[in-house]
């Protein structure tokens, strides 16, 4: 939820967000993500790649902390 808030994705719950991720990258539909599925899925989905990249960009965290 914190990562979603930092990146402006507050319009969906953490559960909804997780479901979207699984729908996009759980290629064998087993309800589990292997590391290989995760990496391949993120590499293929530009929006998800951008979100993950922003999640690890701590400048967004700093901005949130500074703004209260």
pLDDT digit string (tens) for 13-41? 777 777 878 888 888 889 888 888 888 88
Q: How confident is the model at residue 3 (pLDDT cuts 50, 70, 90)?
A: low
Classify burial at 54, counting beta carbons within 10 Å of its beta carbon; exposed 0-12, middle 13-18, buried 19 or more. Answer: middle
Smallest CA-to-CA distance from 37 within 52, 20, 22 is with 22
pLDDT at site 2? 57
What spatial distance separates the first Cα and last Cα of the chain, rounded to whole Å?
17
Q: What is the mean pLDDT of the chain?
A: 76
Confidence of residue 60 (pLDDT cuts 50, 70, 90): low
């Amino acid at each position: 939820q914190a990562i979603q808030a930092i990146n402006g994705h507050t319009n969906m719950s953490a559960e909804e967000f997780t479901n979207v991720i699984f729908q996009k990258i759980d290629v064998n539909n087993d309800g589990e993500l292997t590391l290989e599925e995760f990496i391949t899925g993120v590499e293929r989905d530009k929006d998800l790649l951008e979100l993950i990249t922003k999640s690890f960009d701590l400048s967004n965290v700093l901005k949130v902390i500074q703004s209260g």
